[in-house]
Structure formats: structure tokens, C-alpha cells
């Protein structure tokens, strides 16, 4: 399969590489924001992480673990080392300031952070997929599906959307099928394929 990631690893295909990097860059920026890294440092830090990613990705060995775990480890390491350097610097400059970010990171163990990044990655791919699915459906199919994601029952959705319960089920099935296919497709684009 000619996935984006495989094309991106081909040094000849610069366009694919740019597209691929862009998808990661957006995610990394987002994650760093979520981790409350200071805005003026996000750009720098994300560049560092991308350099690591692009250096290591072609050699990534799927058999050693899930891609998203590896990805979150890369980000976590980069973020922590950046923050500890920064704390050290800040301590020297103004050691009375308690750093919110460091506190936030220190308060959690590595697995918790990894889990957070992993979930964000899953949600990130889910959202990309959802954005691709949305234009494919008309009427209130998407509305019904969003309501389903928010935890509403089919009966509630039916009364909100003025659809019959069976229509709600049918629409949910259709959107879900399309969404899952898109998720698989985007996963294949952005994550290295299984070895072998």
C-alpha cells in the first residue's frame, strides 16, 4: 500500500514528506499546548521533536511496540528534558517562581503522560477522520452521530433529531462504518505499517 508514511520515507518524494511532517507538527504543537508549555517555547521545542522524529522514524521498528507509544515517548522525553533545562535556567534566574508546567509534569508518572499522549493521538486521528467523513453525509446524519458520541441513547437522539429510532440506528451504522474506514486509512498514512 502506498501510504503517506511509506512515501514520506522516500527521499525523492518531498511533497509527501512535507505533508507527513505537517500532520505531526500540528499534533506536536497541540500536545505541547495541552502540556501547558509556554507559547514562545512551543515552536522551538516542536522543531526539536520533529528533528528527532524524522531522524528515527525511518528506522522505527514496529515489533518493538506500538507506534503511538513510541511517539509519545519521543514527545515526553523531549518535553521533559526541555522543561528540566528550563527549570534549571529559571531557578538560577528566579528560583522563587514555581513552574506550573514542571509541577504538572512532575505530579504525574511517565505512564500517565504516555497514556495522555497516546489518547490525544487517537483522538487526533479520530478527529481527522471525522473531518473527512463529515462532508460525505447530508441531513442530520452527522448530528445524530455526534449525539451518539456524547452518550445519548438512540431514543433521545430520535427525539432531538425528529428521526425514527430505526433511522438513528441506520445512520449511526453508516457513519460509523465510514468513520472506521477513514480512521484505518489515516492510521495507515501516519503510522508505520506492521513489520512483515
State the distance between the two ends of the chain, measured CA to CA, in whole angstroms.
13
- Of 37, 45, 183, 190, the one binding another protein (CB under 8 A) is 183
- In the structure grid, which three cell numbers stand for residue 160, read together? 432531538
- Residue 77 CB partners (closer than 8 Å, separation 6+): none
Cβ atoms within 10 Å, residue 117: 25
Do 32 and 79 meet the contact criterion of CB atoms below 8 Å apart?
A: yes
* Near another protein in 137-156, by CB under 8 A: 149-150
- Stretches 44-52, 74-82, 86-94, 127-135: which one binds another protein (CB under 8 A)? 127-135
- The three-state DSSP-derived secondary structure of 86-128 is HHHHHHHHHCCCCCHHHHHHHCCCHHHHHHHHHHHHHHHHHHH
- Of 53, 79, 129, 144, the one binding another protein (CB under 8 A) is 129
Give me the numbers of helices (H) and strands (E) for the chain, helices first please.
9, 0
- Stretches 53-61, 85-93, 160-168, 175-183: which one binds another protein (CB under 8 A)? 175-183
122 lies in the binding site for another protein (CB under 8 A): yes
Q: Based on CB atoms, which residue is closest to another protein, 1 or 195?
A: 1
Q: Based on CB atoms, which residue is closest to another protein, 30 or 104?
A: 30
- Stretches 10-18, 25-33, 83-91, 104-112: which one binds another protein (CB under 8 A)? 25-33
Do 192 and 57 meet the contact criterion of CB atoms below 8 Å apart?
A: yes
Q: Smallest distance from the beta carbon of 173 to another protein, in angstroms?
A: 10
- Of 17, 25, 42, 126, the one binding another protein (CB under 8 A) is 126
85 lies in the binding site for another protein (CB under 8 A): no
- Residue 52 CB partners (closer than 8 Å, separation 6+): 74, 78
136 lies in the binding site for another protein (CB under 8 A): no
C-alpha 14/C-alpha 30 separation (Å) is: 24
The footprint of another protein (CB under 8 A) covers 1, 26-27, 30, 119-127, 129-130, 149-150, 176-177, 179-181, 183-184, 187
Amino acid at each position: 500500500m502506498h501510504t503517506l508514511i511509506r512515501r514520506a520515507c522516500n527521499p525523492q518524494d518531498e511533497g509527501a514528506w512535507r505533508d507527513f511532517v505537517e500532520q505531526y507538527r500540528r499534533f506536536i504543537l497541540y500536545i505541547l499546548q495541552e502540556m501547558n508549555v509556554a507559547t514562545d517555547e512551543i515552536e522551538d521545542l516542536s522543531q526539536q521533536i520533529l528533528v528527532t522524529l524524522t531522524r528515527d522514524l525511518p528506522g522505527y521498528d514496529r515489533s518493538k511496540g506500538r507506534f503511538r507509544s513510541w511517539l509519545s515517548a519521543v514527545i515526553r522525553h523531549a518535553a521533559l528534558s526541555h522543561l528540566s533545562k528550563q527549570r534549571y535556567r529559571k531557578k538560577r534566574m528566579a528560583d522563587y517562581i514555581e513552574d506550573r508546567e514542571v509541577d504538572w509534569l512532575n505530579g504525574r508518572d511517565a505512564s500517565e503522560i504516555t497514556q495522555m499522549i497516546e489518547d490525544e493521538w487517537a483522538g487526533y486521528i479520530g478527529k481527522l477522520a471525522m473531518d473527512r467523513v463529515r462532508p460525505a453525509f447530508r441531513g442530520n446524519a452527522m448530528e445524530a452521530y455526534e449525539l451518539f458520541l456524547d452518550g445519548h441513547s438512540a431514543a433521545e437522539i430520535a427525539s432531538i433529531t425528529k428521526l425514527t429510532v430505526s433511522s438513528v440506528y441506520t445512520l449511526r451504522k453508516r457513519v460509523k462504518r465510514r468513520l472506521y474506514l477513514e480512521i484505518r486509512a489515516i492510521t495507515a498514512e501516519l503510522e508505520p505499517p506492521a513489520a512483515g
